[in-house]
Amino acid sequence: MSITPKLNRFDLSMIVVSLVIGMGIFAAPAEVAKNSSTPLLYFGAWLLGGAVSLCGALTFAEIGARYPTTGGFYKVFSYCFHPAFAFMINWVLVISNAASVAAVALIGAEYINPIIMPQSLQNDAGIKIMTITSVVVLYIINYLGIKMSARTQNVLTLFKIGMILILCAAVFKGNINTTKEVIAYHNNNNISAFGISLVAVFFTYGGYQQTINFGGDIINPKINIPKAIFFGIATVISLYMLINFAYYSVLGISGLQHKTTLAATLAGVLFGAAGYKIVSLLMFVSVLAFVNVNIMANPRVYYAMAEDGILPARFKRVNSQTQVQEFGLSFFVGAVLIILFFANSFQTILNYVMFFDTIGLSTAAITIFILRRKTKQLNNTGIYIMKWYPVIPVIFITTYWFVTISIFIENPQAALICICAFIAGLIIYYITKRSQKPNTIL
């Protein structure tokens, strides 16, 4: 059973916003502040991250318009390079996406745990119980159908946008006690520190590229994909700059460096204990949006791999009534739950996820140069074509490789493990393809 388009432009715009705004913006600013000796470096990292992410969004908008298909993030590698390369990149990205979901779910549990869990579960075990329960509930919702998932997504995303705007407006309340003292700064190399701070920034801005995985689900994808990506990422950049201004105005650089539950802390400064508890609850609800959209998106990559014969056919089986890949959905959620059993913190996951993402995204962006040549017959058909080509994709690719090198220098062990994972993917691909050939003579 093939996938039938059921999602409109608004659905996709909300998907874009939720793919990007997870819980990273409520935790990553603390990581950025730890590597920023001055407010100029702090806001410079967020501004550069927004500008580069806009370049990436425009690049992927054109990629999605030129090659709209289910599991597009896999298919575009296969079409422009080779199926082996496509699998090598995407199999680890599927793992890193599962890790991202796990990381964000852990942050959400850290917010809600002190509010609703008994004292005996105010620990890592309690956080894991809350996180796993949340993922399982969203799994059930997604299992019921793609339209139910989309409606749930729209409500959660609008809720999240409204919540961020309320927090930003609260900064104008008077009698705010701010702290401006900065902790000891350990990295004397501003360029290196800036590169490391961008790791958390790009983690927080990432995710929009997964929009092209819904190419088969979107009505009129050649028009709606680029418009939804542009509207979504513009909304995200605006919200991020507003919330960072609020964080800094209330907490200062020192407060940012010491806090992880930033939004709840901000509300606590403004509204007291009641505000802290309310926003902690709202933060937990908002994390559901990010987890839900990833549960929607990632099985579509499995669908594309199964179409190419890399994964078993069961991964592309779609329920004709619900449009759900029941096996693929269950497999992805299972991967998230396994990661949650072994990971205890946001920072533990971050470096591994970002090394996968920076390589995957920058390499995917390179496909625009190949797609422009292979699909030049589409140039005058009304599809989206970015301005200032090739400057836009070059800026995006160059910056992401700068971050990749920064991660490698800062944490060579994590980088080495990730490179080995890529190589393992290549080996798995050729073993899989070889096993599919009957009567192979050794």
Domain count for the chain, please give it.
1
Instruction: Decide if 2 is inside a domain.
Output: no
Q: pLDDT tens, 275-334?
A: 777 777 777 877 888 888 888 888 888 888 888 787 788 888 888 888 888 888 898 888
pLDDT band at 349 (very low <50, low <70, confident <90, very high): low
Range of the domain at 341: 7-433
Q: Say whether pLDDT at 342 is over 80.
A: no
| Average confidence (pLDDT) over 132-147 | 87
Instruction: Decide if 89 is inside a domain.
Output: yes
Average pLDDT of every residue of the chain: 80
CA-to-CA distance for 276 and 115, rounded, in angstroms? 10
Instruction: Decide if 1 is inside a domain.
Output: no
Instruction: Decide if 188 is inside a domain.
Output: yes
| Average confidence (pLDDT) over 230-259 | 84
pLDDT of res. 392: 94
Give, in order, the Cα–Cα distances in Å from 42 to each of 168, 258, 354.
18, 15, 19
Locate tokens 């959209």: which residue? 293
Instruction: Decide if 131 is inside a domain.
Output: yes
pLDDT of res. 195: 67
CA-to-CA distance for 328 and 81, rounded, in angstroms? 25
Instruction: Decide if 173 is inside a domain.
Output: yes
Going 290 to 292 to 293 to 299, the CA torsion angle's sign is positive
Nearest CA-CA partner of 351 in 296, 295, 415, 431: 415
Q: Say whether pLDDT at 265 is over 50.
A: yes
Beta bridge partners of 7: 218
CA-to-CA distance for 226 and 384, rounded, in angstroms? 7
CB atoms within 10 A of CB 82: 12
8 A C-beta contact, residue 284 and residue 109? yes
| Average confidence (pLDDT) over 414-433 | 82
CATH number of the domain that residue 410 is part of: 1.20.1740.10
Enter the tokens of residue 187: 């990295």
Instruction: Decide if 338 is inside a domain.
Output: yes
Environment class of 27 (CB within 10 Å of its CB; exposed 0-12, middle 13-18, buried 19+): buried
Instruction: Decide if 218 is inside a domain.
Output: yes
pLDDT of res. 184: 44
Q: pLDDT tens, 72-124?
A: 888 898 899 988 888 888 887 777 778 778 877 887 788 788 888 787 777 77
pLDDT band at 365 (very low <50, low <70, confident <90, very high): very high
